[in-house]
Every structure is written in structure tokens, then in C-alpha cells.
Amino acid sequence: MTTTAEDLQSIRDNVRALCKDFPDTYWRETDSQAAYPQDFVKALTESGYLAVLIPEEYGGSGLGITEAGIILEEINSSGGNSGACHAQMYTMGTLLRHGSEEQKRRYLPAIAKGELRLQAFAVTEPNAGSETTRIETRAVRKGDRYIVNGQKIFISRAQQSDLMLLLARTTPYNDVQDKTQGISVFLVDMREVKGNLQIRPLNLMVNHHTNTIFFEDVDIPASSLIGEEGKGFRYIIDGWNAERILVASEAIGDGHWFVERASSYACERLVFGRPIGANQGVQFPIAKAYAHVQAADLMRFDAAAKFDRKEKCGAEANLAKLLASEASWEAADVCLTTYGGYGFARDYDVERKFRETRLLTVAPVSNNLILAFLGQNVLKMPKSY
Ligand SMILES: Cc1cc2nc3c(=O)[nH]c(=O)nc-3n(C[C@H](O)[C@H](O)[C@H](O)COP(=O)(O)OP(=O)(O)OC[C@H]3O[C@@H](n4cnc5c(N)ncnc54)[C@H](O)[C@@H]3O)c2cc1C
């Protein structure tokens, strides 16, 4: 399906209009109460914007990463936090690309309608960290079931989701020569699991509903397996470019929010009898942050266009994630400085967005790992780890 520039603008305008119903005060209160922005996610789901990547035959709009990115960007540039629901866009891709027709028919239409939530993606573990192949959570096949034991950490929205995409070892690390083998992906219906699945919230600096999850003899049907057993690492890698482009889009939205707030405040705030923005020491850092956000935005659209044309885009997706998250963090820092002491006052929302955008340099993948990808795979330097 081809989308014209007018279509993109119309998506932008519609999401912007939807976000107007969820002003700064909504996000501020949600954050201060560590609450889940349920009403916002409901409105976004009902509008169909959370299902844009689901093909039309399964009830979605069948649009591309460009459109999905614009939606997340607009949420963040409105002052909101698309981290509350973005995983549904990322994780659905694994089901779509590698799930069986039966699994797709069973889940995708219900996800598109908002009857089922696929908001949780369980990869990270305490003893593995960025080295995903070191995960220790085991899924052992017993007849038509798998028994899962292990622990995941930093798993967001597990309590706000019906389904969880789970990465687990079906063959132990030491028993495989190629360490990327022996890892499998499961689509776990958390409403139906048997055994002991414990979800314990973590107390973090961002309102991300993030948890530690303990699996003790958790019994799931073998039909939860996505694709072939042992090939799951490849399936997850297939989703990385989309994830990186979407995260870059969120960062671009944040970057625009910070630049807009900083430049407006710099015009309004009078000190020494003139607007603080009349001082180059205040004005130039804002202008520089703006330039960096705009440059990263070009990279994001380049990556998204290649992705949507089904061209190779690993380099572009990684560049976009790196540049956009760094540009938004720079803009956040500059915005906070521009607001002076008021930047620390919760009522101005700068400190909240500052915390939220900082996350994007670390999760879902740390920028160091992005640099390692660029150094090794694009610039062909030796592997650094
Ligand atoms: C709010 C939040 C939400 C999250 N949500 C989820 C989620 O829903 N699902 C999920 O699976 N995970 C989630 N995560 C986890 C996140 O993806 C990881 O925190 C991230 O990938 C980094 O892993 P780590 O924390 O174990 O860091 P580590 O791997 O311990 O790394 C620590 C630091 O060392 C650096 N480092 C490590 N190895 C190298 C190397 N070889 N070269 C250079 N630098 C290196 C890293 O870049 C990082 O800066 C979330 C995290 C947070 C904070």
C-alpha cells in the first residue's frame, strides 16, 4: 500500500488531535502516581493507531514503519510517553513473520481490535544482560507442553498485558557450538499459564511498569512455540531494525518537545531586563540541539524508507537509533539548563521528559552495542567483545 505525503500528514494531524485529550497534566499525574496510562492506551487502540503494522487481512491497517514511527513521534512530541504501549508494535512483528498461520489468525485480529494486549517482551536476564545468548531461562519439552524455569529482569508492562513474547533456552549454552542456536521464542498467554509465574514490580526512575519475573515450573502448551525450536535468536534479530527505527522516532518526538519548550521559555523568561534567549549562551545550545534533532530525523526517515522498501537497513536503523537518542538527550539537557531551577519543578514536565528520554540511550539496546554494530559490521573493524 502506497502512502502519500498527504496521508502521512493526515496521520500526524490525527494523532496530534488525539493527544490533545491527554495534556501535560494527564502524563504528570500518571507519572507521579506510577499509574499506567490506561485511558490513553485505550484511546490509541480504539483509533486503530496501535495496529498500523498489522496487515489488513488480520484486521490492522497494513501500513509501514514510516507511519508507525510518525505515530510514536507525535505521542512523544505532544508531551506523552509512547513507552506505555510501543512494544505492541515491536513484538507483533515476530508473530507476523515467524508465527504459523493458525497463531496469526488466533491472535492478530484480537490484538488489532484491542481484545488482547501484547505489550510484554521478555528477553533480559540478570546474568546475561546485553549478551543475550547467555540467557539461562530454560524451556523443556514434555509431550505437548513446555516447562519453563528461570528469571527475567526489566520486563515492562507484564501486568498490563495478556500475552508475553518470551525468549528461553531450549538447549543449554554449553551444549551448542553456535551460541545463537538453542534459543526459542514463545508466545505465552499469561492468563492461562499453570505453575508459578511471579511478577514483581521494580522501582525505577521512569514510569515504565517494569518487573522482575520468576518462572517456577511454568507449564505452557507446546503450541506457544513460534517457528522452529532453537531458531529464536534469529527471529528476534529480524525485529531489531524495526525496533530501532521506532525508538529513534520516539526520541525525535522528545527532541522536538524539548527544543520547542526551551525556545519558547527562552523568549518568555526575562532576566536582567531581557529574554534569556537573547543571550547566545542560552540561544546557541538550543539551536545546536535543534540541528542535531533535525539531522537525526533525516536518518530516521532514510532507515524507515529502506525498511518499508524491504531493503537492507541495518546500518541506517542503528545510526538512526544512536543519533536520535543522543540528540534527544542533548535537547533534554539544554532544555533543563534553559529552565534553570524551574527545570527541576515537576509542574513544568521537563524533569519527567528528561528522565523518560534518557532511557532511550540504554533500552531496548544500549548505544554501546549500537557502536559495536557499526564498528564491526559496517566499518569492518575487529569484533570488540
Ligand atoms: C525502564 C526499562 C525498561 C526495560 N524494558 C525491557 C523489556 O520490556 N524487556 C526486556 O527484555 N528488557 C527490558 N529492559 C532491559 C534493557 O533492554 C537492558 O537494560 C539493556 O539492554 C542493557 O542491558 P543491561 O542492563 O543488562 O546492561 P549490561 O549488559 O550489564 O551493560 C551495562 C553497561 O555496559 C555496557 N557494555 C556491556 N558490554 C559491552 C561491550 N562489549 N562493549 C561496550 N559496552 C558494553 C553496556 O552498553 C551498558 O552501558 C528495560 C530496561 C529498562 C531500564
**Cα distances (Å, whole numbers) of residue 49 to 16, 46, 119:** 12, 8, 15
- CA–CA gap between residue 337 and residue 286 (Å, rounded): 10
Of ligand 1's atoms, which has the minimum distance to the CA of residue 130? 29
Which CATH superfamily is 120-230 part of? Answer: Butyryl-CoA Dehydrogenase, subunit A, domain 2 (2.40.110.10)
Each residue's pLDDT tens digit, 25-34: 999 999 999 9
Burial 259-296 (b: 16+ CB within 10 A, else e): bbbbbebbeebeeeeebbbeeeebbebbeebbebbeeb
User: Ligand 1: which residue has its CA nearest to atom 14?
Assistant: 154
Q: Which one of 124, 160, 326 would you pick to mutate in the ligand 1 pocket, going by the greatest count of ligand atoms within 8 A of its CB?
A: 124
CB 192 within 8 A of CB 214: no
Q: For residue 1, is pLDDT > 70? A: no
Q: Residue 87 — very low, low, confident or very high, per pLDDT cuts 50/70/90?
A: confident
- In angstroms, rounded to a whole number, what is the distance separating the alpha carbons of residues 310 and 102? 25
Q: Comparing C-alpha atoms, which of 5, 17, 9, 93 is closest to residue 51?
A: 93
Q: Mean pLDDT check: name the lowest of 164-173, 189-198, 269-278, 325-334.
A: 189-198
In the chain, pLDDT over 70 holds for what percent of residues? 99
Contact between residue 157 and residue 89 where contact means Cβ atoms under 8 Å apart: no
Closest CA to 118 of 203, 27, 45, 227: 45
Mean pLDDT across the stretch 204-223?
97
CATH architecture of 234-378: Up-down Bundle (1.20)
Domain chopping of the chain, boundaries: 5-113, 120-230, 234-378
Q: Is the predicted pLDDT of residue 360 greater than 90, yes or no?
A: yes
Domains 5-113 and 120-230 share a fold: no
CA of 174 to the centre of ligand 1 (A): 23
- Show the CA angle centred on residue 364, arms to residues 104 and 300, nearest 5°: 85
Strands 210-221 and 145-156: antiparallel
Q: Which of 79, 12, 70, 30 is nearest to 335 (CA)?
A: 79
Nearest atom in ligand 1 to 152's CA: 11
Q: What is the 17 CA–ligand 1 centroid distance (Å)? A: 35
Cα 155 to ligand 1 centroid, rounded to whole Å: 12
Per-residue pLDDT at 385: 84
pLDDT greater than 80 at residue 2? no
| The ligand 1 atom nearest the CA atom of 129 | 26
pLDDT digits (tens, 9 = 90+) for 182-206: 999 999 999 988 889 999 999 999 9
pLDDT (tens digit, 9 = 90+) per residue, 142-162? 999 999 999 999 999 999 999
Residue 204's nearest CA partner among 34, 333, 29, 86 is 34
Catalytic residue, from 73, 125, 243, 356: name it.
Answer: 243
Q: Which CATH architecture has domain 5-113?
A: Orthogonal Bundle (1.10)
Give CA–CA dist 385/374, Å, rounded.
13
User: Which value, to the nearest 10 degrees, does the dihedral of the CA atoms of residues 189, 191, 193, 194 take?
Assistant: -170
Total residues found in the chain within this entry: 385
Residue closest via CA to ligand 1's atom 45 equals 368
Q: Distance from the CA of 153 to the center of ligand 1, in angstroms?
A: 10
Q: What is the pLDDT of residue 377?
A: 96
Nearest CA to ligand 1 atom 17: 364
Which residue CA neighbors atom 2 of ligand 1 most closely? 154
Nearest by Cα to 350 from 267, 256, 262: 262
pLDDT at position 90 over 90: no
Residue 60 CB contacts under 8 Å (≥ 6 apart), including other chains: 48, 51, 52, 53, 54, 108, 112
Percent of the chain past pLDDT 90, that is, above it, reads: 95
Q: What is the pTM of this model?
A: 0.97
In this predicted model, what pLDDT tens digit does every residue of 39-52 receive, in sequence order?
A: 999 999 999 999 99
Which residues have any ligand 1 atom within 6 Å of their CB? 121-124, 129-130, 154-156, 204, 206, 208, 210, 359, 362-366, 368-369, 372, 384-385
Which residues on adjacent β-strands are paired with residue 216?
Answer: 196
316 is catalytic: no
Q: Partners of 213 in the beta sheet?
A: 152, 199
Averaged confidence pLDDT in the chain: 96
Q: Which tens digit of pLDDT belongs to each residue from 316-328?
A: 999 999 999 999 9
Q: What is the pLDDT of residue 61?
A: 94
Least confident of 3-7, 30-34, 312-316: 3-7
130 CA to centre of ligand 1 in angstroms = 5
The CA 365 to ligand 1 mean position distance, Å, reads 6
Q: How far apart are CA 117 and CA 115, in angstroms?
A: 7
The SS3 call for residue 193 is coil
Residue 3 has a pLDDT of 84
